[in-house]
Structure 1
Amino acid sequence: MTSDRGFLWYATRPSCRLLTHFAFFIGYLSLGGIIFMLLEGAEERNMVLRLRERRRRFLEHNRCVHDADLEEFIEEVVHAANRGVSAVKNVSQPEPNWSFGQALFFASTIVTTIGYGRVTPLSDAGKAFSIFFAILGIPLTLVLFSACVERLMIPTRHLLYWLYGKLGHLYKVLHIQVLHLAIILCIHVVFFMLIPAAIFAILEPGWNYLDAFYYCFISLSTIGLGDYIPGDSFDQPHRALYKVATTFYLLIGITMLLLVITVFYDIPELNLGYHFYLKSDEACRKAEDSEKTKLKSKELGTSNKYIKQVDDVQSIRSGQYHSYQQDITPVTEEEP
């Protein structure tokens, strides 16, 4: 009985839940590191053996080449490759890495925080400008994303209200909100993951569908590992235009992903962050919301009364679902 009370007390403490979540997060990262080590370690060792054998055969067939000269040449090639300059085909490529299309693509990876890292500034002036460009560009991009998501939420909420009208007499509000989230998520996955992956698989030599889908996910989630980048092939036709089109794809795709996240967090039952709020924070938020309501009502010349949405069938039938959580309804104060 005492242990049950202790567990109940622990489960209801936000700080304890936060510590539990943090411990789980550390364990999750550690497990991921172990799995990646097991999966990729063997492939890395095989690649090292292949390179050693290739190097040994090259030196045997070219005895006039000294090992130190070969080492210096390899270092130069690797350094150039890390800066986006390929040594394949005798360093011949139709377009440079810093054409307008390529530079625009690079700028978009900075402001969206994707940061592939394949092509980087070579000059000190370019590195310094990247810092100032990111300081101003990242906030501007976040504001742009927020504004676009706010406007996209208008038709998204219309879809939710339509679902309420069609299914409100059959299902609860939470169930309809989850269905609405699933529809928005499917639209994002189909039009910004599956279809673009098929296009990239066709346009990119050496990419299969899994590689293309992997690129779409890693890029739109702003992870940006940089192992797959479209348009980096030396014989890619219309490379600059291809990079510009990819830039707009990334901007629109990230906006749609933020829309999905916004719809997700508008469902209180799915917002796990509520479980970690302290009571003082909750009281401050309620006080702040109350103050905002008072200010809003003063602007409208009304009182601060409002009607909360009730999660039942009657509320849906009566049409009280103008927002996900609550709808402020002005009510004029009665004369004393």
Structure 2
Amino acid sequence: MGGKYYSDVEINLKSDKLLIESEREKLPLLGNSSEKYYEKPSCLEPCSSSALLVLYLFGFCVFLISGAAIFSILESPVEEQFRDRMRMVRQKFLETHPSVSDDELESLITEIVLASNRGVSAIKNASGTPNWSFGQSLFFSSTVITTIGYGHVTPLSRSGKIFCVLYATVGIPLTLVLLSALVERLLVPTVWFLQFLNSRLGHLYQPLNIRLFHLFIIVSFFVIFFLLIPATIFATCEPEWNYLDSFYYCFISLTTIGLGDYIPGDSINQPNRPIYKIVTAAYLFIGITFMMLTLAVFYDIPQLNLGMLFSTSNDVNSEKVRLAGSSTGSQYGAGDVFNSTTATDDNTHRHVVRVRSRRDDSPSPEESGPKELRLP
């Protein structure tokens, strides 16, 4: 009984969960597993998660202060130039029109600024397109529920302000649910594309390198079709915008920062302004969806997810897998362990491990046949 028995083993593994345990390590073979194991780098083992968090907070504060200092250095001279220009224009106006007192001019400027802050332009006797036409109102509603909030147009009445609060309270959660549902649908072709890259490049590169290449393609798609090309369109449609202004607007809007310094369709002579606003609202909604998709792809790569460094446990179990959902059957990290193929239509992956039978030089017929072990 001292001899060892070997046989051909064929294991059918369902795609909902696979975890092979060995004495030294745990390896997640399929990306659609409900559990993932991520080990922190060995250089970080002596440091506790609390110490890392404190260090990160310190770096974040330094980053915030550095940004404030750089903005102050860059923008203060330009602001001073505008102030000098306004003083010169004001002084020139008073000299040209001596009948107008300084107090009267100050009162007029105050009213103009107040109207401008409420979204009402004083140019051409305030005869431009109204801000609360249906197209303009639809654009405003989209900026509210997507949390962009440009602030160039705000409700003027008390009832409008109350309705805005209620509308945002209901609309923002509904929008988040809809965006999440759309991202989940878009993840299906995204994972298919990753599987295609694994099938073509899995024998040449490590899974992490393939996933980084996949992320690069997704980011490039987002930048080209939702930043560069729309910036070209806005630069053509907006008479006072150059390409940098248009790209700046696209980035600020799709990241939901919404500074409100550049608003499409606010030109007095803008043709078809309501329709232009509706098309812009559709662009913002679709662009934010693809931005969330890009962030989901980025977040699903554990090596790039810095949040895992601050985990209180050594292994991060039960991590939500965004790209490798149970309906997609992706194979993240499995390429370097087994050569897997999709065997059946119900997303069953077959891994074949063949070991030469050698109980003795001439095995008996009943021992030489293959044995099959199936795991549920």
Q: TM-score range by the shorter chain?
A: 0.7 to 0.9
Question: Which residue identity is paired with 2:144?
Answer: I
**Correspondence for 1:318 among 330, 337, 340:** 340
CA distance in 2, matches of 1:189, 1:167: 24
CA distance in 2, matches of 1:332, 1:46: 75
* Partner secondary structure for residue 313 of structure 1: coil
The equivalent of 1:323 in structure 2 is none
- List structure 1 runs of 4+ shifted beyond 2 angstroms: 8-12, 308-315
1:265 and 2:287 correspond: no
1:147-176 per-residue CA deviation (whole Å, 9 max, x = no partner) reads: 000000000000000000000000010000
1:45 and 2:67 correspond: no
Question: Which residue identity is paired with 2:174?
Answer: L
- The offset of 1:126, in angstroms, is 0.8
- The offset of 1:217, in angstroms, is 0.2
Could you say if the C-alpha distance between residues 232 and 309 of structure 1 is closer, same or farther in structure 2, counting changes exceeding 3 Å?
closer
1:182 and 2:205 correspond: no
Where do 1:1-336 residues align within 5 Å?
Answer: 12-93=47-128, 95-279=129-313, 285-286=317-318, 310-315=333-338, 317-319=339-341, 332=375
**Percent of matched pairs sharing the same residue:** 51
The equivalent of 1:300 in structure 2 is none
Structure with higher strand content = 2
Structure with max Cα Rg = 2
- The offset of 1:131, in angstroms, is 0.6
Question: Which residue identity is paired with 2:230?
Answer: P
Question: Which residue identity is paired with 2:171?
Answer: G
Across the aligned residues of Structure 1 and Structure 2, the Cα RMSD in angstroms comes to: 2.3
Question: Which residue identity is paired with 1:318?
Answer: S
Aligned length: 297
TM-score normalized by structure 2?
Answer: 0.75
What are structure 2's unaligned runs of at least 5 residues?
1-42, 321-325, 343-348, 352-373
Question: Contact 2:208–2:333 (CA<8 Å) still a contact in 1?
Answer: no
CA distance in 2, matches of 1:18, 1:31: 20
1:177-212 per-residue CA deviation (whole Å, 9 max, x = no partner) reads: 001111111111100000000000000011000000
Question: Which residue identity is paired with 1:34?
Answer: A
TM-score normalized by structure 1?
Answer: 0.84
Could you say if the C-alpha distance between residues 309 and 157 of structure 1 is closer, same or farther in structure 2, counting changes exceeding 3 Å?
closer
Question: Which residue identity is paired with 1:201?
Answer: A
* Partner secondary structure for residue 279 of structure 1: coil
- The offset of 1:90, in angstroms, is 2.4
Structure with higher helix content = 1
Question: Contact 2:207–2:332 (CA<8 Å) still a contact in 1?
Answer: no
Could you say if the C-alpha distance between residues 261 and 9 of structure 1 is closer, same or farther in structure 2, counting changes exceeding 3 Å?
closer
- The offset of 1:12, in angstroms, is 2.5
CA distance in 2, matches of 1:267, 1:250: 27
CA distance in 2, matches of 1:278, 1:36: 36
- The offset of 1:89, in angstroms, is 2.1
* Structure with more contact order per residue of length (Cα contacts < 8 Å, sep ≥ 6): 2
What are structure 1's unaligned runs of at least 5 residues?
1-7, 290-295, 297-307, 321-326
